[in-house]
Amino acid sequence: MFEKLSEELRAARDNAQLTPEQLAKIIKIDIKFLLKIEQGDLSFLPELYIKAFLRDYARAVHLDDKLIMKKYQAARDGKAFEPVEPEQQTEDDPAKNLPTEIDYTPSTYKVVKTITEPVRALKNPSRKFSDRQIQLMLFGVVALIITILIVVFAFRATSVPNIENDTAITEQAAKGYEEPASQPAQAPAQVDSMFSVTLQTDAPCWIKYTVDNGKEIDTLLKTNVTLANKAKTQIKLNVGNSSAVDIFINGKPQDFPKQRNKRALLVVTKDGVKPVKE
């Protein structure tokens, strides 16, 4: 089903002058997985892993990864891949746009009547405002100045301090003032303790995890990838290949049941890692 696709990938690798071992190191994949891809066996891992490997393979050998994914999906569905050919644009023939006959008759001209009426000149066009407008503007400026002067004098008259009243108020305030009793300082609120969880992979591994009952995150971790998170209470893990993952809590390695190529459900707290039954 995937023979044509695997042959195309293998031929591209040969053109790039790469051995299977060299390409496996470049795309960080196990050599046995790469050989299975080139043999047309694409059922050894879930489809999520296969798509990731195919994209990395195509890019490493200078192929169009999007076109490779379309060919993979067509082969998976049992359909023949039919590439879409771009539409050919035909250039316009310049001879088609030429007129078949040329009219050599002289063009006729019409005499336009010249307007000889004089344009009425404006009276003093450089003047922008009339005398009436200038008078109104001057009146407005004078009224504004008078209003400002009245407000300033009124404010100064009301703001003259009364020395006798101020002295009496100061003495009364001094007699009636009592220093407030000092209140005990409140203890700072305790901050919830957090613990860190680190995942280290030695092979490609698919992982789903939830931090403190938050949103579930689905990701694919490649070889030698570190994933770190912090939590208040717990982190729930759904590990596709439990033998490929090491778990650390606050930097300390943790022991938990590992099985090669088998999924494991785990709950990580600050006290350790516990397996969960489905």
How much is the pLDDT for 97? 52
> Using alpha carbons only, what angle is made at residue 146 by residues 143 and 150, rounded to the nearest 5 degrees?
140
The residue from 41, 56, 76 where one domain ends is 76
Rg over alpha carbons for the chain, rounded to the nearest Å, is 44
For a pLDDT cut of 70, what percent of the chain falls above it?
70
Q: Which two tokens stand for residue 40?
A: 């047309």
Give residue-wise pLDDT tens across range 118-154.
444 445 545 567 788 888 898 899 999 999 999 888 8
The residue from 28, 61, 76 where one domain ends is 76
Residue at 200 is within a domain? yes
For a pLDDT cut of 90, what percent of the chain falls above it?
19
Q: Choose between 172 and 244: higher pLDDT.
A: 244
How much is the pLDDT for 64? 93
pLDDT confidence band for 114 (50 / 70 / 90): very low
Q: How many domains does the chain have?
A: 2
* Res. 56: pLDDT tops 90: yes
Residue at 48 is within a domain? yes
Q: What is the mean pLDDT of the chain?
A: 77
Contact 197, 229 (CB under 8 A): yes
Residue at 21 is within a domain? yes
- pTM exceeding 0.85: no
Q: Choose between 158 and 258: higher pLDDT.
A: 258
How much is the pLDDT for 195? 83
* Res. 208: pLDDT tops 60: yes
Q: How far apart are CA 27 and CA 60, in angstroms?
A: 7
Q: Choose between 126 and 252: higher pLDDT.
A: 252
* Res. 69: pLDDT tops 70: yes
Residue at 259 is within a domain? yes
How much is the pLDDT for 242? 80
Alpha-carbon distances of 251 from 200, 210, 230, 270, rounded to whole Å: 11, 20, 12, 11
| Domain range for 238 | 195-275
Q: Which residues contact 124 (CB under 8 A, 6 or more apart)?
A: none
Q: Choose between 172 and 266: higher pLDDT.
A: 266
> Alpha helices, DSSP H only, in the chain?
3-15, 20-27, 31-38, 47-60, 65-76, 131-158, 163-176
- Please provide the distance, in angstroms rounded to a whole number, between the alpha carbons at the two ends of the chain: 35
Give residue-wise pLDDT tens across range 72-81.
888 888 777 7
Residue at 221 is within a domain? yes
How much is the pLDDT for 12? 92
How much is the pLDDT for 43? 80
For the chain, helix (H) and strand (E) counts, in that order, are 7, 9
Q: How far apart are CA 6 and CA 10, in angstroms?
A: 6
The residue from 60, 76, 92 where one domain ends is 76
Residue at 20 is within a domain? yes
Residue at 52 is within a domain? yes
pLDDT confidence band for 85 (50 / 70 / 90): low
Residue at 206 is within a domain? yes
Average of per-residue pLDDT across 207-224? 86
Q: Choose between 219 and 193: higher pLDDT.
A: 219
CATH number for position 70: 1.10.260.40
